[in-house]
Every structure is written in C-alpha cells, then in structure tokens.
Structure 1
Amino acid sequence: MTSGRVTVYIAALLARTEDGWEASDTELDDVETLSDLTELAREASTDEDTVLVYIEQEDAWFGVVRVDGEEDPRIYLSDAQAAARSSYGEILLTDELLGRDPEDEDELDDLDLDGTEDGEPTGYDTEEEEADTDAETIPAGPIGDRQILADLGMPEGELSSLDTDALSSIADALGVSDMLEAVR
C-alpha cells in the first residue's frame, strides 16, 4: 500500500522592472520543457528585464532559473539528484547543465549497450533500479550557475548554503519579501 503523500511545489516569478521587482505566484501546469519555462518568464518581463523563476519541491530541492532578455536561461539547482526524481527538476537538468554532449547521447541511443536485443528485458527488476542507475550519472548536491544571484545581492556562498524555504532568503536579498508574501 502506498502512502497518499502529495508532492508540493512552490513556484514564483520575480520580474525586475523600472520601478523595482514584481513578485507573482505562478502555475507550472502547462510547463513541459525548459523552453516553456523560459517563455513564461519572458512573458512576465517588461522591456526584456531580468526575470527569476523559483521552483521548490517541499523539503527536497529548489531551483532558480534566470532569464535576461533573449539570452539563454541560467540555472541553479540545490540538489541535482533530488531534482532528477521530480518532473519539474528533470526540465531543469539540461545536457549542458550536466556537462553532457547531446550528440554523444544520440549515438549511444543507437547502440545496444545493455547486452539485450530489442524487445528483450533489460535485466532491471524494477523501474526504481533503472532510476538508481540513471541517478549515478547525476551529481549529488548543487549544480549550475552559483553566481546566478551574485549581482542581485546574494553571493555564491550564501546561495550554496540555502536549504528548504530558500525563497524567503532570496526574496530578502532582493528586497521583495513583503511583496512575495502578499502573493503567496
């Protein structure tokens, strides 16, 4: 019998404007890819200003995605292995972030490296064992751009030391705590 524990996510958008920061709670229901998330952030921006997307899985991990205009998004995750077990975390764990070359992965997909023929069992007894093997290729702990918030008032060391409820600390550093509480 499985427990009926519901995974709780917190998601917020923090958009810099001429008048300071604007905070809003956001829904991630329609977000399936990093491109979707980046587009959501850009829609919240005026004049291509900085937007931060904060995602937290309660008591497990948090991630910050920074979108500056049309530049590629910058990503920081507090715990890559924990994020890999989450649908939203998987979105943020890009090949680039993991230091993988996507072309190499395509070539490996074409090879039969597990000793089985197409359609034969892989030898994994459960999906959990297969997931554990995948987790071995993902580093434990923080991953990504540790300087993502440095120019906004949160140095690398402070960001790396955050655990759960990091959103409050990030909001404090940006000076938007009151605004964020109003939208929560």
Structure 2
Amino acid sequence: MFSSGSRSTHSSTGGTVSYFAAAIVRGSDGWTATEIDLSGAADIEEVADLLREVDADAQVSLLFVESDETYLAILRLDDGEDLRVFGSDSVFAEESRLGALLIGDVEEPAIDLDSVAGGVDGHRGEAGEDEEEVGAVEADIKPVGDPDLLVDLGLPAHRLLELCARDGMLPSDVTAEVCQTIGCGDEMEELREG
C-alpha cells in the first residue's frame, strides 16, 4: 500500500509509525506530485513550509499524509497561505507524534458522521447505487478539522467524510479516490509506483 519510499517516525507509545506523505501541487502547468519527508518538522508551520517549498508559486498545494494504514490527514494551502487541515480520526493525534503534529491543535470538529450516513443514503438514491457499492459506514471514527477543504475542487465534505468512514477503506484508497475526483489521480499513482 505504501510506496517504497514509505517513512517511519516514533510514536508517543514508543513504537514506530510508518507513513507516506505526498504533496500534490497545482501550478500553471497542472498538477505535480512529490513525496516529502516530515521527520524533521517540529510543528505544523514547519510542515506548511515544506509544502510551500515544493512549488512556491503553486495556486493550490495539498499534502496527503497516510499513517499506519489507519489514519489520513490532508493539509491545504492556497497561494502559499491560509493553511487548512482535515484529519480522518482525532485518535491519530493521541497515538503518534506525527498525528499530534498534524492534527493535535485542530479544535474545530468535522461534520458529525450521523449526517454522513444521511448523505450516503441520499447519494445512493440519486445515483442508484446499492449498499454494497457505497459500503458500510464506521461510526467509531471522529474526523476533525475542515471537511470542506476540497469542495471547490469537486469533492463535497459529505463525500470526503463518507470515504474516511467507509468500512474497509485504507487511507491510500481514500487518497486515490480523492485525487481521482479532483483531477490528479494519475500523478498520485505515478508517485506511488516510482
């Protein structure tokens, strides 16, 4: 699931946490994808600086961080400013230094998952999908941050939350679907295969 460049960092419980961090930036020539190393970052602002360094002139900069095949964090900068953060589960901040670094200071809760279940039902009715295609929603995760951070790129908040809550979805699966939806799926796939 992780590329050969998957990295590790120490968890707060003394073990190591494997992670994959991919910066996807959109500049004048379209989307580009680059793997970045977060091990030296001391706080969220240093992570944002690493994202800015990928392309200082990027209109949109996204960072997807997948940890231990369990957690996903997405960071966004527009024109290098206004950092927005989303985390698939608040437990990520409690279980590792990386999680605390990325979402530990995120206070604003994401939309309640009960509303996602309603959105999934509505989505199923409109698109004619059956329950197997949509997948069961896990109620035990607690997303945090800004689920609207990809709305203008074509991914509504309820869809992001539903993907994170879908039973059996790995963070890499969520990242792949998100990237496909917003138009940088090929770039992410090439990065993983590289």
**Matching residue of 1:128:** none
Distance 1:84 1:167 in 2: 22
Of 18, 21, 25, 1:15 maps to: 25
Amino acid of the residue matched to residue 30 of structure 1? Answer: G
Give how far 1:142 is off. 0.4
**Matching residue of 2:41:** 31
**Matching residue of 1:145:** 146
**Matching residue of 2:83:** 73
Of 168, 173, 189, 1:181 maps to: 189
Give how far 1:28 is off. 1.4
Count of residue pairs brought into register by the alignment: 140
CA contact (8 A) 2:76 2:149 kept: yes
Distance 1:34 1:6 in 2: 20
CA distances 1:160-183 after superposition (whole Å, capped 9, x unpaired): 012322211111012222221212
Residue 43 in 1 paired to residue 53 in 2?
A: yes
Give how far 1:140 is off. 5.4
Residue 59 in 1 paired to residue 69 in 2?
A: yes
* Structure 1, unpaired ranges of 5+: 100-138
Amino acid of the residue matched to residue 161 of structure 1? Answer: E
Give how far 1:6 is off. 5.0
| Greater share of residues in strand | 2
CA contact (8 A) 1:77 1:83 kept: no
**Matching residue of 2:177:** 169
* Structure 2, unpaired ranges of 5+: 1-14, 109-139, 165-169
Give how far 1:69 is off. 2.6
Distance 1:159 1:84 in 2: 22
Distance 1:47 1:16 in 2: 9
Amino acid of the residue matched to residue 180 of structure 1? Answer: M
Of 88, 97, 121, 1:87 maps to: 97
**Matching residue of 2:107:** 98
CA distances 1:58-91 after superposition (whole Å, capped 9, x unpaired): 3321000101134331000000123321211101
Amino acid of the residue matched to residue 14 of structure 1? Answer: I
Residue aligned with 2:17, SS: coil
CA contact (8 A) 1:65 1:73 kept: yes
CA contact (8 A) 2:21 2:37 kept: yes
Distance 1:63 1:171 in 2: 14
**Matching residue of 1:135:** none
- Rg larger for: 1
CA contact (8 A) 2:27 2:58 kept: no
Change (3 A) 1:178 1:81: same
CA distances 1:117-149 after superposition (whole Å, capped 9, x unpaired): xxxxxxxxxxxxxxxxxxxxxx95101111001
Change (3 A) 1:183 1:82: same
